[in-house]
Amino acid sequence: MSFSEIKAEDLLAVAGVKVASVMSGIRYKNRLDLVLMEIAPGSTVAGVFTLNAFCAAPVQLARQHLAQSGGAIRYLLINTGNANAGTGQKGLDDAAACCGFVAQHAGVEASQVLPFSTGVIGENLPVAKVEAGVPNALSALGDEWLQAAKGIMTTDTRPKARSVRVDCHGKSVVITGIAKGAGMIKPNMATLLSFVFTDAAIDQALLQQLLASVVDQSFNRITVDGDTSTNDCCVLVATGQSGVSITRANTAVFERFEDALQSLVRELAKDIIRDAEGAKKFVTVDIQGGAEPQECLKVAYAISESPLVKTALSASDPNWGRILAAIGRAGVPALDVSRITIHLGAVCIVQNGTLATTYTEAQGQAEMNKAAIDITVNLARGSARETVWTSDLSEDYVRINASYRS
């Protein structure tokens, strides 16, 4: 399923989960901006959250509620247009009030509601609009997953949603996930916002381990601009209503499920890069031959976040010297540059630390003209390998972010 072909019928309902997306006018009129997700009793819920020290009020409260409830969460409430970040005690009070609205109308404890917000930082949340929208969302609960994916969008141009059915020894398990994000993307623990659901039965501790593992190899391997959001969150919910239990003891089923979950979340992460603000290029930066994984990531992010590299990508300019310079400043100790090889797609640009004798500008230009570009670096130091996905940096990115609050 390609990113541009996602349709409502491609998304599978998850037994034990209902979703709704409504217009509440939080920032813009006639726009879906309030999403409610109902989770069946007995489900388990895991979450990972931003490590930004200025984490938003809903992030702080969601962490608290998740700990208080022991994972026995019944509702997720997401608003767009306002991040409720940098808002101090009032922001915490506002997030708590929003949880209270859901609890009051749905007959649950406020601690069983997780709040999430995304949008402009530093403005107070229009609580009255959320309060008015909650009853509408409750009455609209159903299986409209694509609408929910649209309802969490901010500067996104397209919804991000994925589904897969996993065969587990004759029984099937469904995994469906949605995500949002296009700018302020360098997740550190999670992504901008992502919510993934399965009808498998998974205990709380294992669910948390699974989430941390798959996020580390997906959402924590993308960057648009190197900015980690104040509101990053990723939630994984297991309702257990398929009757299939996922445990480490059943190795074959566990590995099949884990692979499917990893693949789905990785594609959601890539969808964010495909829809990066103002982007025209989807770029894979593959670093091989590292002494250990962390140094591979240092090099990958040095390339992926270099304004000079990213603007060259935007202009389809095969300026390989910018890639070389980014590698050199990545901070890899005792780096022997005379052993480094760089490929652009299938074309060898740099061999043994200098321009490859076989390279021609026409070859480089042909690779840079592509919408999907692969940059491969071999450090020749060991066997470690890491991949990061990124985008180019265009004039449209500047325009979008220069007018973000208008």
CB distance 146 to 161 below 8 Å: yes
The pLDDT of residue 37 is 98
Question: Where along the chain do the CATH 3.10.20.340 domains lie?
Answer: 282-402
Q: How far apart are CA 35 and CA 391, in angstroms?
A: 28
The pLDDT of residue 398 is 87
Partners of 37 in the beta sheet? Answer: 19, 76
Low-confidence ranges of the chain (pLDDT < 50): 1-2
Q: How far apart are CA 289 and CA 12, in angstroms?
A: 40
| Residue 241 φ/ψ region, left for φ over 0, alpha for ψ in the -120 to 50 degree band, beta for the rest | alpha
Which residue has tokens 């005379």?
A: 338
The pLDDT of residue 236 is 98
SS3 257: helix
Partners of 175 in the beta sheet? Answer: 164, 198
Q: Indicate which residue of 44, 154, 155, 191 is catalytic.
A: 191
Question: Where along the chain do the CATH 3.60.70.12 domains lie?
Answer: 3-274
Residues 6+ apart with CB under 8 A from 2: none
What does pTM read for this prediction?
0.94
The pLDDT of residue 406 is 58
The pLDDT of residue 2 is 47
CATH, domain 3-274, list 3.60.70.12, 3.30.70.3270, 1.25.40.20, 3.90.1150.10: 3.60.70.12
- Please say if 118 is a catalytic residue: no
Q: Which of 201, 175, 168 is nearest to 44 (CA)?
A: 201
The pLDDT of residue 4 is 58
The pLDDT of residue 1 is 37
What number does CATH give the domain 282-402? 3.10.20.340
The pLDDT of residue 300 is 98
Can you read off the two tokens belonging to residue 105?
A: 């109308």
